[in-house]
Structure 1
Amino acid sequence: ATMLDEHAPEATESVTIAKYWAAKAADEVGHASLHVHGGISIDRDYPVHRNFLWAKSLEHELGGRSDQLTTLGAAIADG
């Protein structure tokens, strides 16, 4: 947060890397929870399904792993 406030050049890279790892973890945990809970996990009333949909919605709004890698690559290329 301090780097962003001070407009440090490495702030974009640091934030993008953090967003990449958060997106990766959300994706893997979401799919693993569906797998562990089996058929009941796709029931609309089951919390696992709601949490999975919430995570997917955030991925579409904030950008998933590939979006973060694209942003990071552009930041590195710009120097």
Structure 2
Amino acid sequence: ARWRAVWDDLVSLMAAGVRDGRIDTVRPEHMPEAMGRPPRVDGHGGEVYVYRRAGLPCLVCGAEVRVVELAARNLFWCPVCQPSGSGG
């Protein structure tokens, strides 16, 4: 059931990426216009939930975004929206 939920979400997001000609990982209800916040200003472009946002508030719940190095890469996450072992 968990894998199916991930797959269904991925299918939806990839279809939107094909339609829009780009991959956005932020749902429409969390975009700057919908939330009344300024857009992301970053050389990498596009809106993101946690990527490169360590120490800043999560755009959904306000918790501090965390980062840890994993396999020589930075892993960013929200401890509230993406708790360890939640599977969701």
The TM-score with structure 1 as length reference comes to 0.24
Higher helix share: 1
Higher strand share: 2
Between structure 1 and structure 2, the one with the greater Rg is 1
